[in-house]
């Protein structure tokens, strides 16, 4: 079944439409259109060099028409409903639409342009209507229900039974049991919500680009490294700003440069440019939350969050709220204790310099946290960057860990087309040496690329179609000037490992049906393999293999590694707190009724009240995303689901403990984890998969220990 999901910024994975990718040429689309037939390139890699903007619209039109004909044939089949003639037939439908959708929405996130932006705005409500015409097809649902009702004793294997249950659940949740009048109402809601989500996304993209901070005096950039200053000058030149420097914005509230800029006025200007983005989204948010609440009520749920969570592993908003309230007090009390220490630094600095002291503000946090970390651990994050060069981290770190754990190997392919010159393509070979996948690595930030980091599939693995995966990872690392090395922060290094965890989840999939392949799992499980893969970024064996000076090749000194490890729990009150504040904000927006939804003018007042009520309204620690640019929940697939990052962090910490207990970076451990988790996709209930791997229910204690937080007391562990 086609499942159109919006693009997911920051972590994310871009879940392309979960449909097969192999079909014969259609008679409704010219053969010259690159989507008219399956790509003949290895692994059916899209022919990026042949795709033009003008190819998308006719392919979408033909694809939607073709799938509606296929669905009509299934729904009107005179034969009695069976698994094969109904559900397998649905799995085989919509292949042309899948091909064009996968490429279009992937590139609309990674390499967009004005024509694509305009087409996306047109398509969003049309695709929502198209999906509704399938999900709300009475005759089709009757056949699905007949197969579902007869599933016990049908002789179907476990994966096929799972497919039956998932289809039935999807159609019921999509409104199949509503009256015709209610279905009409629901269709209008879905179309409007789709348009609003696209408007929100575009507003954030424009505001992030327009919000870049220009600097006319070099002295103001004191604290930045020479490569960073050169990159800022290059960014300004690209926008025609002669003799200036440009600090571009990332999608998060806190901007990386705040850690280094010594000029407090510039820090404040940069921070305010970040948090004041996209006020035009106030009206968009007001409409979205009201419509989502109305739709949830129509479908029989008290609010949108209840609707979303009912189909996740958490199952209830009460379970989500319990998990969040376990960590929030500890995180914010830790942050407040650290803030008091930083205030002492500020006061001492003012006394020494005979200047007026000031109260710690959010634009001060990062630079004084770095000073405090340096004082406490004699550690400076800038000291590790020369040892974290992008290519070494990717090839000798990310790929090396995967080879050690799973036996897979990598070979770069320079003979295949890409959509942007910086994109790299690697062929992946399985442990027996057989070719298994293509991996696209797109790491640099661009003005036409959405913020954050994410994974997407261009081809989903499927035994039904003998399809092997084509997977892409996207980051937003600032590109240095030509000839300069790309040196990563510890956080950027961790993000490379994180996104490749998503990639592993997709490429190791052994599902028969596309619907259940790879990352097609509950949202509060999909972030688990990615967060678990972060452990290898700090593993001593892996670090020793990639952490080498970009100029000399000298291994990172053990003393520096020890400092890095010792400082690992530092600032966790802030990092956990900013994420939890955003998470609680997401729940606040979606645990309300339509009557409680605020007007556009009251959006930020609602946010402030929600943070205060949750006990996370500590000014120096702002939410990771404020409402107007919280793309995960208003333009992505994480509405009422941003808690997934915290939920799965528990699973990841448990998994790290499991690996430590069983000997760490060993093939036997990797093979077991691959067999129990990474290869299963959505073929088995996610909670069951974790129990079968871990041998017990999830335990929050390892996560609290890892982050230096004491549950219950709310105090940080020293």
- Could you tell me whether strands 454-459 and 13-14 are parallel, antiparallel, or unpaired per DSSP bridges? parallel
Average pLDDT of the chain is: 93
Of 20 and 680, which is predicted with more confidence?
680
Q: What is the pLDDT of residue 378?
A: 87
- Could you tell me whether strands 435-444 and 470-477 are parallel, antiparallel, or unpaired per DSSP bridges? parallel
Residue 24 predicted with pLDDT over 70: no
CA distance 399 to 395: 5
Do 158 and 683 meet the contact criterion of CB atoms below 8 Å apart? yes
Residue 18 predicted with pLDDT over 50: no
Phi, psi of 240 (to 5 degrees): 75, 20
Q: Which residues are within 8 A (CB) of 551 and not within 5 positions of it... i.e. 6 or more apart?
A: 386
Can you say whether residue 445 is alpha, beta or left, with left for phi > 0 and alpha for psi between -120 and 50 degrees? beta
What residue spans in the chain does CATH classification 1.10.1370.40 cover?
13-205
Q: Token pair for residue 99? A: 């091909």
CA distance 361 to 405: 44
Residues forming beta bridges with residue 437, ordered by sequence position: 428
pLDDT digits (tens, 9 = 90+) for 57-115: 999 999 999 999 999 999 999 999 999 999 999 999 999 999 999 999 999 999 999 99
Do 452 and 251 meet the contact criterion of CB atoms below 8 Å apart? yes
pLDDT digits (tens, 9 = 90+) for 600-614: 999 999 999 999 999
DSSP notation for 561-580: HHHHHHGGGTTHHHHHHHHH
CA distance 447 to 332: 35
Q: What is the pLDDT of residue 141?
A: 98
CA distance 538 to 544: 10
Which is nearest to 430 in space by CA: 398, 407, 463, 411? 407
Q: How confident is the model at residue 564 (pLDDT cuts 50, 70, 90)?
A: confident
pLDDT digits (tens, 9 = 90+) for 391-432: 999 999 999 999 999 999 999 999 999 999 999 999 999 999
Helix/strand/coil for 338 = helix
pLDDT digits (tens, 9 = 90+) for 327-377: 899 999 999 999 999 999 999 999 999 999 999 999 999 999 999 998 888
Do 190 and 4 meet the contact criterion of CB atoms below 8 Å apart? no
Q: Token pair for residue 692? A: 């079968």
Q: What is the pLDDT of residue 10?
A: 30
Residue 3 predicted with pLDDT over 60: no
State mean pLDDT over 140-157.
96
Length of the chain: 718
What stretches of 534-666 show up as alpha helix (H) in DSSP? Answer: 540-546, 558-566, 572-590, 603-613, 631-634, 644-661
What stretches of 299-416 show up as alpha helix (H) in DSSP? Answer: 304-309, 317-353, 362-377, 390-391, 400-406
CA distance 152 to 135: 24
Q: Say which of 294, 312, 389, 499 is annotated catalytic.
A: 499
Do 644 and 526 meet the contact criterion of CB atoms below 8 Å apart? yes
Chain position carrying tokens 């300004």: 236
Task: Please name the helix (run of DSSP H) or strand (run of DSSP E) that holds residue 236, with its range, or none.
Answer: helix 226-238
Q: How confident is the model at residue 705 (pLDDT cuts 50, 70, 90)?
A: confident
Can 527 be counted among the known catalytic residues? no
Do 362 and 368 meet the contact criterion of CB atoms below 8 Å apart? no
Residue 120 predicted with pLDDT over 50: yes
Of 21 and 388, which is predicted with more confidence?
388
Helix axes 158-173, 138-149, angle to 10 degrees: 140
Q: What DSSP designation does 398 have?
A: I
Q: What is the pLDDT of residue 20?
A: 35
pTM, 2 dp: 0.89
Q: Token pair for residue 325? A: 């309230």
Residue 7 predicted with pLDDT over 70: no
* 13-205 fold: 1.10.1370
**How many beta carbons lie within 10 A of that of residue 355, not counting itself?**
9
Do 185 and 256 meet the contact criterion of CB atoms below 8 Å apart? no
CA distance 584 to 606: 13
Handedness of CA 64, 68, 69, 70 (dihedral sign): positive
CA distance 369 to 574: 10
CA distance 704 to 3: 36
Q: What is the pLDDT of residue 474?
A: 98
Which is nearest to 42 in space by CA: 570, 369, 439? 439
Q: How confident is the model at residue 710 (pLDDT cuts 50, 70, 90)?
A: low
Q: How confident is the model at residue 122 (pLDDT cuts 50, 70, 90)?
A: very high
Q: How confident is the model at residue 227 (pLDDT cuts 50, 70, 90)?
A: confident
The whole-angstrom distance between residue 189's C-alpha and the CA centroid of its chain comes to 25
Q: Give the up-direction half-sphere exposure of residue 214: CA atoms within 13 A in the CB hemisphere.
A: 12
pLDDT digits (tens, 9 = 90+) for 642-656: 999 999 999 999 999
Helix axes 572-590, 317-353, angle to 10 degrees: 140
State mean pLDDT over 15-44.
71
Q: What is the pLDDT of residue 712?
A: 62
Q: What DSSP designation does 397 have?
A: I
Q: How confident is the model at residue 169 (pLDDT cuts 50, 70, 90)?
A: very high
Do 709 and 336 meet the contact criterion of CB atoms below 8 Å apart? no
Do 304 and 557 meet the contact criterion of CB atoms below 8 Å apart? no
Q: What is the pLDDT of residue 568?
A: 80
Compute and round to an integer the Cα radius of gyration of the chain. 25
State mean pLDDT over 465-470.
97
The whole-angstrom distance between residue 299's C-alpha and the CA centroid of its chain comes to 27
Cα-Cα-Cα-Cα torsion 476, 481, 484, 485, nearest 10 degrees, comes to 0
pLDDT digits (tens, 9 = 90+) for 676-698: 999 999 999 999 999 999 999 99
DSSP notation for 170-198: HHHHTTTTS-HHHHHHHHHHHHHHHHHHH
């Amino acid at each position: 079944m086609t499942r159109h999901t919006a693009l997911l910024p920051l972590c994310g994975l871009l879940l392309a439409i979960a449909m097969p990718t192999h079909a014969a040429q259609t008679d409704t689309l010219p053969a010259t259109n690159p989507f008219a037939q399956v790509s003949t390139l290895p692994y059916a890699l899209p022919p990026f060099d042949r795709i033009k903007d003008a190819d998308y619209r006719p392919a979408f039109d033909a694809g939607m028409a073709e799938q509606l004909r296929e669905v009509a044939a299934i729904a009107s089949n005179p034969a009695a409903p069976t698994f094969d003639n109904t559900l397998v037939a649905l799995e085989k439908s919509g292949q042309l639409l899948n091909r064009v959708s996968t490429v279009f929405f992937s590139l609309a996130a990674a390499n967009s342009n004005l024509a694509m932006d305009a087409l996306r705005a047109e398509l969003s409500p049309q695709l929502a209507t198209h999906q509704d015409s399938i999900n709300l097809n009475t005759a089709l649902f009757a056949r699905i229900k007949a197969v579902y009702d007869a599933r016990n004793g049908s002789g179907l294997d476990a994966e096929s039974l799972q497919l039956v249950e998932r289809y039935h659940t999807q159609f019921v949740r999509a409104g199949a049991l509503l009256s015709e009048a209610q279905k009409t109402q629901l269709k209008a809601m879905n179309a409007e919500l789709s348009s609003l989500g696209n408007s929100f996304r575009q507003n954030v993209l424009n505001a992030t680009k327009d919000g870049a901070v220009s600097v006319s005096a070099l002295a103001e950039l004191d604290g930045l490294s020479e490569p960073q200053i050169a990159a800022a000058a290059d960014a300004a030149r690209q926008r025609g700003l002669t003799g200036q420097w440009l600090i571009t914005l990332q999608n998060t509230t806190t901007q990386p440069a705040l850690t280094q800029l010594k000029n407090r006025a510039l820090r404040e200007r940069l921070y305010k440019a970040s948090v004041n983005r996209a006020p035009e989204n106030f009206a968009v948010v007001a409409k979205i939350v009201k419509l989502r609440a109305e739709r949830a009520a129509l479908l029989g749920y008290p609010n949108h969050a209840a609707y979303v969570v009912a189909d996740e592993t958490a199952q209830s908003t009460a379970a989500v709220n319990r998990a969040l309230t376990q960590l929030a007090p500890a995180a914010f009390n830790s942050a407040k204790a650290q803030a008091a220490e930083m205030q002492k630094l500020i006061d001492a600095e003012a006394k020494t310099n005979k200047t007026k002291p000031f109260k710690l503000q959010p634009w001060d946090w990062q630079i004084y946290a770095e000073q405090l970390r340096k004082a406490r651990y004699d550690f400076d994050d800038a000291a590790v960057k020369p040892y974290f060069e992008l290519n070494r981290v990717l090839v000798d770190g990310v790929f090396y860990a995967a080879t050690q754990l799973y036996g897979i190997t990598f070979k770069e392919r320079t003979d295949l087309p890409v959509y942007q010159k910086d994109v790299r393509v690697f062929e992946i070979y399985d442990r027996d040496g057989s070719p298994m996948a293509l991996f696209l690595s797109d790491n640099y930030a661009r003005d036409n690329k959405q913020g954050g980091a994410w994974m997407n599939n261009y081809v989903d693995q499927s035994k039904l179609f003998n399809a092997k995966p084509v997977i892409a990872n996207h980051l937003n690392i600032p590109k240095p000037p030509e000839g300069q090395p790309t040196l990563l922060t510890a956080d950027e290094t961790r993000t490379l490992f994180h996104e490749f965890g998503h990639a592993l989840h997709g490429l190791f999939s052994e599902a028969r049906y596309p619907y259940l392949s790879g990352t097609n799992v509950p949202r509060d499980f999909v972030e688990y393999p990615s967060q678990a893969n972060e452990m290898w970024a700090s593993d001593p064996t892996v670090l020793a293999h990639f952490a080498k000076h970009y100029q000399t090749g000298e291994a990172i000194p053990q003393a520096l590694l020890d400092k890095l490890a010792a400082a690992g729990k530092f600032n966790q009150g802030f990092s956990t707190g900013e994420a939890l504040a955003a998470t609680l904000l997401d729940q606040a927006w979606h645990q309300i009724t339509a009557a409680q939804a605020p007007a556009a003018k009251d959006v930020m007042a609602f946010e402030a009240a929600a943070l205060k009520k949750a006990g996370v309204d500590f000014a120096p620690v702002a939410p990771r995303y404020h409402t107007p640019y919280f793309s995960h929940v208003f333009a992505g697939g994480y509405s009422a689901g941003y808690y997934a990052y915290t939920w799965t962090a528990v699973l990841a910490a448990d998994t790290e403990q499991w690996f430590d207990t069983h000997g760490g970076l060993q093939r036997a451990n990797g093979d077991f984890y691959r067999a129990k988790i990474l290869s299963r996709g959505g073929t088995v209930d996610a909670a069951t998969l974790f129990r079968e791997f871990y041998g017990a229910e999830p335990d929050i204690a390892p996560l609290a220990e890892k982050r230096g937080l004491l549950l219950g007391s709310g105090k940080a562990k020293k």
